[in-house]
Every structure is written in structure tokens, then in C-alpha cells.
Structure 1
């Protein structure tokens, strides 16, 4: 009985968003039967993969606490997307270009981790700086023009299917499983939640706070780089203008999925559900012919409601 209660408590925060997701699917499918067509479901899957990978990265950073947040994710997507395209156009093999971009992304995350943990620069400031630098560098590399003419071997990543499921979705599924295991079954996952939950107590328990946050920022940047590769492949070009506001959608997806902005709480499953809700909302608004001007309004309202509910839940828990 106690074990069943623990299991319910463990997944209770994801239950509400999951029910909301199911209701949204049914609602959209009833109003527009085209929603369930294979083409639309594949497009939706690719979008969920993009926002889901970013949301997982943001979840790790936010769980680490201390007001940590990564505002650079969308700009890193743009920079890595144009950089991988530039490398491929300059005759660097596709596999090596992808590998180099992932290492490059890790370097960006390490810089964030170093600045936050050793230089004590607020995460908001250092990632805001990277947001501006990365967006500017993407424009510098391309001179404002997309890099086109990429080989089919690269386009497979973002456009091809396997067993009628987009390759991007398979990549997302594998990444989600790996990071779910990493967060729930490893010592690092326990240390991450302890750090975000009570930094002082974690430090006295022997947790290396700086190392925990350093790894969290690195994971977030690597996943942003992976998204940059997927997006460039999906669009068949390195486009410096992509990724605008992606970081906000990723943060929203993470919070909607139950991650607490105060740190210490969050799951990969929740991030996946949150990303699915954000992507489905976009898709539903398009399918229902709602003006694009209303899209950001709806997403913004969802973010405010999710954060408000999280605050109210914490207040009730303290009473």
C-alpha cells in the first residue's frame, strides 16, 4: 500500500498535464479530422522532438536551483544549425560535422557552467549574453543568407522516417530514455535534486554543488546543439533566423510538465508531456485556422497559468 502511494505521488505532478494533453488531442481531433492524418501527426512529432529536447535540457538546469535558467537555447540552435551547414558545405564529412557541433555545444555549456559556478555570474546574465552573441555569430557566418545545397545524407536526420516514424522522433525518444535514467537512477540525479531542493543541506551532505550545476548547463547546451542539427536538416539549410523564442517554449514546457522554477523538482517525463502540450497547441491553432497573432497570446497565458499553479501548490504544501 505504501509503495502504491509513493508511486502515485511520484507521478501525480505529471497526471494533470497528461490529462490536459489527452483532452487537447480529443478536442482538436473532433473539431478538425485532418488532425489525425499521418502527414500532420508526423509534422507534430517532429515539432515535439524539437521542443522536447530543449525542454529536457532546461529541466536539468532549472532543477539545479539557485534561480538557474538558460536563455540561450534558441540562439544556440541557430548558431549550431548554420555552423553544421557551413562545415558540410566546406567538405567536412557529415558524421564529423555533427560530432564537432556536439562538442562545440558542450563547450558553450561548459562556459555557462564555469561562469555560474566559479565566476558567480548569474545564469540569467551569462546565458542572455550568449543569446546575443550566438544570434549575432549566426548572422556573421551566413551574412544573413541561408546556407543551402546540403547533401541527402544530412537531410535524412530531419526529414526521413523509419517504420513510418520520423528519425527526429526516434532521436528524441532515445535521448528522453537516456536522460530519464540519468535523472532517476544515478547518483548525479539525486545530487541534482538535492542541490535544487536545499543547497546548504546538499553541501553539508558532501554534494559538489558546482559540479552538479556545471553538468546541468553542459547537458542543456548539448541538447540545444542537437536540436540545431535536426532543424538544419529538417529545413534543408542553415538558417540564422531560426530558434526565435525557442528557449521560452522550452522553459514553458518544462514548467507545464511539473518542474518547479524554485529548483529541486522536475522530471524528464514531465518535460516530454509539457513539450507535447506546447507543440499540440501550436498545431491545433493552425488546424483551427486561428490567426497567428493569437498564437503567442495563448502560449503566454499557458505559461502564466502553469507558473501560478506551481506557486499555489507550494504555498498549500507549506500550510
Structure 2
């Protein structure tokens, strides 16, 4: 089999805070408030299947088992559980998400085989006045945060940040955070579905019951002295150069402008994931080409070799460091 760029059928997830904005990318959504599109996933809670080429119909887990060493590269597996190491999502936040925090790989209360969750956000779109919660105010300790939670004034401890399209946020495990209403986000993260909720606006879930909070676990995993989180504006004017958005032990994420043509290549140590943030064009390789549009996500095998992006578009590229 000759390697080629893989596209997947997204796994759509209904969320109490979701909406219908992912339809703008041409996706067919199930009924309900769809908050998450799992675009490339190899997790018990969501495994995406290939929709193009010779491997069509196979799940990413099956590809991992049968072709992983060739397609994913020498670094392309989680050392902890052997799975594909990343999870790629598009998030439609019609309402505020819960205030939450994620553990690292070493937290003792993680479910068996589950990873911690370091992630990053690239803001694809934001309504005027949109905000997120990103970290805590200086001087907040475990004790003062616990008191604030008990007295229902947790918001006094948190930093609110206005956002606009093109903003980028790196969110290491231990960072308190929450997406706000009115943002559309591309998320690159460790392959994990572990979230600890600190606060959820006293809001019932889709089943009408109050959603569970995880106060003790949250207080245990928060990085009170700073997690290493960083944020940046990502304005680019020069095509054919990469701007690093996030550099972590788990992934490197970069932003680039295509125009009119960009010759690139994969390396044997890691797959490459491309998310088309805006614009249109084509993805070309030795044996074919695919038209690209906003919202498209591609998994380029490590052994693909040379490929070319052509057109006028903004691309988010992720790979293993």
C-alpha cells in the first residue's frame, strides 16, 4: 500500500454548551447541541474512521494495529498506553463551558490506561465580546481557592481574557480554564478524555440533572505556582513560513500561510496533522491530490514524503517533537 493523506468521518458529540456552527464546514450534524467534532481520534470514547482511499472504513485504532509503525512514525505512539498520542477536535461554544482543569500523566486517580491532558486552542472565530477563562489571579492558593468554591465566589479567583480569531492558547495540564460563549476553536490535545470540573454555573446537563463537579481532584492537580501556559496573537503576513504556537513534550503546533504554493515533506519520526483554518486550495502528493476547505483535517503518514499545499489558505500543522 502506498501512503496517502487520510481523512476521517468526525465523531460528533452533543454537549450542553454546544450549537450548530460546525455545519458551516459542511459537516452533517446529528440532532441536538453539537459542541465537539472529534476529527482525528483513537479513544474508547470516540474513534474516527477513514473516509478516503484504500483504508476507507477502517478506524484509527485498526490502522494503528495494522500499519501504525509505518504510518505514525517512530515517535507515533503513546508510551503509556500504545494508542495514537493526539486527539484533534473542533469545538463550537454556543454557551460557556464549565470551569475545569486537567491532570498530567502521573496523577494517581487517572482511569487505567488514560493519559493526562495538555492541550492548545487556536481560535477560528469569535463573536464580538467573547471571552475565555485562562488561569487564576496571582496569589491564589489551594486554600483560598477551596474557600472561594465553598462560598460560591470562584469567579473572583479567575482571569477572564477577551479573544478574537487568530488567538492561540497553550494549556498545559494543571491550568484552570474555560472556553466562553461565542467562540469556535481548533483543539490539539493529548489523547485523553479526562476533565475535572470546578464550577458549572449551577447548570443542569442534557439529562436535566446537575452535572458532576470534581472539586477534590481539581484542587489536587492545579498548578498553583504556574503551569507554563502561554498565549499569543498569531498575525502572519509572509507565506511559506511557520509560526510556532505551542511547543510541549507532547506536540508541536505551528501556523502557516499558503500562497500560492508550498513544497513540504514528512519525516520518518512523526506523522503530520493539518487543520485548514481558512481559505481553499489543494493538498498534493506523488500519487494524487485532494481539494481543501476550512474545517478539513488531514493525517499525513510519516512515510508520505514530499507533499505540496497550493492555493490561498491558513494551515495549522501539528506533529510530535
Scaled by the length of structure 1, what TM-score is found?
A: 0.28
Scaled by the length of structure 2, what TM-score is found?
A: 0.28
Between Structure 1 and Structure 2, the one with more helix by share is 1
